[in-house]
Amino acid sequence: MLVIVAPGQGAQTPGFLTPWLEDPTFASRFSWLSTVAGLDLAHYGTEADAETIRETQIAQPLLVATGLIAALELFPHPGDAFDQVGAVAGHSVGELAAAAGARAISAEQAMVLVRERGKAMAEAAAATPTGMTAVLGGDRDEVLATLARHGLTPANDNGPGQIVAAGTMEQLAALAADPPAKARLTPLSVAGAFHTEHMAPAVGHLAKLAVSVSVHDPRIPLISNKDGRVIHSGPDVLRRIVGQIASPVRWDLCMEAMTDLGVTGIIEMPPAGVLTGIAKRNLKGVETFALKTPDQLDDARAFCQKHGEGSIIDTTPTWRLVVSPSKGTFHIDGAAADAPRLDVGAAIGDVASSRDRVSVTADHGGEVVEWLVEDGDLVSPGQPLLRLHPEGVS
């Protein structure tokens, strides 16, 4: 299975866009998304210095636009992507690029949202001096206990030995004076404590805008930063994108989901390298491809063909699938088991694992065509559970 991932803020480097903009098609598409964002992104990706592109309101639109246009370069015919890509995921702001690539939202909607997201997060960061520090190594439980003692949030959990702490500068200074045993601290060059309660004002702003965003169920399953669950509901994708501004990025759980899905290949959109590097350390046996420059596109396409099996969500105009959000044992809801039809939002059961118990609902409702699992079956993320015939569809 092939998974495409999009990097988050901090992956950008000065001049990384220069070779890409030599392609007239890329440059034209990039100009369009720059217009939507209201920023000269070509300038920021080719001529601006590291300090300038570190600014939240610049870095975020720059990354999302690059990821979206690079994906179109990789798959000139989007239908090819649906035939090869099994799932998508994005780290932090990269989740917007992933959502647009999966067709949950349009590229233009993604650029408006990321433009407003960047501005709102920059304003929230300016309200209180905050920051982030990478905590590398150490015992996981001890690291988390130390962060809690200092009132810090584990804002990014990127796998064993890779946790990013976020909070006020005073809290980070206390961490530096009293670090976890055998851990190395590296202050990050970011504008604030992203993915913490300090970003709550930005959540409120984006939530108001999201009310007017039309969404679709993704054509490719999206692995959520919030908890690593496989999401196939458009409204749920949007809610999670809004909420993740002030909640931790659980990339460790995203990688767990990739393992459960049976991923064999991961390709990272430019500016690539961070997420494939994490995957190499944590997903042994999974091949990775960091797409950095356009001269790699032919090799990248060959990589996609080697690992591609297509989306595990198969949609048609006449029926809908309800799929499992996670790995575990599926228990059918008693009322749904023998029901000939289900209302929108009706519970169909839950998936129980050693970590939690996740309820599953019928987001579309309609006539029950067939159950694809039985009570007590072990299920994987994205596995079809139930086929429904929506009311009003002939």
Q: Annotated catalytic, 92? A: yes
Angle of helix 107-127 versus helix 200-210 axis, rounded to 10: 150
Catalytic pick from 195, 205, 307, 364? 195
Helix (H, G, I), strand (E, B) or coil at 157: strand
d(C-alpha 355, C-alpha 334), whole Å = 23
Residue corresponding to tokens 């992933």: 98
In 10 A of CB 370, how many CB atoms?
10
> What are the φ/ψ torsions at residue 211 (nearest 5 degrees)?
-60, -30
d(C-alpha 298, C-alpha 294), whole Å = 9
Of residues 352, 97, 379, the one with CA closest to residue 225? 97
Give start and end residues of each alpha helix (H) in the chain.
24-37, 41-46, 50-53, 56-74, 78-84, 94-101, 107-127, 140-149, 169-177, 200-210, 234-243, 251-261, 274-282, 297-307, 334-337
Give the pair of three-digit tokens for residue 290: 């960091």
Cβ neighbours of residue 281 under 8 Å, at least 6 residues apart?
A: 159
Catalytic pick from 92, 247, 311, 326? 92
Kind of pairing between the strands at 265-268 and 2-6: parallel
Lateral strand order in the sheet of 341-342: 320-323, 384-389, 366-371, 341-342
Residue type, 304: C
Asked whether the beta carbons of 329 and 378 are under 8 A apart, the reply is yes
Asked whether the beta carbons of 336 and 349 are under 8 A apart, the reply is yes
d(C-alpha 60, C-alpha 127), whole Å = 19
Of residues 64, 86, 61, the one with CA closest to residue 7? 64
Q: Annotated catalytic, 214? A: no
Report, as residue numbers or ranges, the catalytic residues: 92, 195
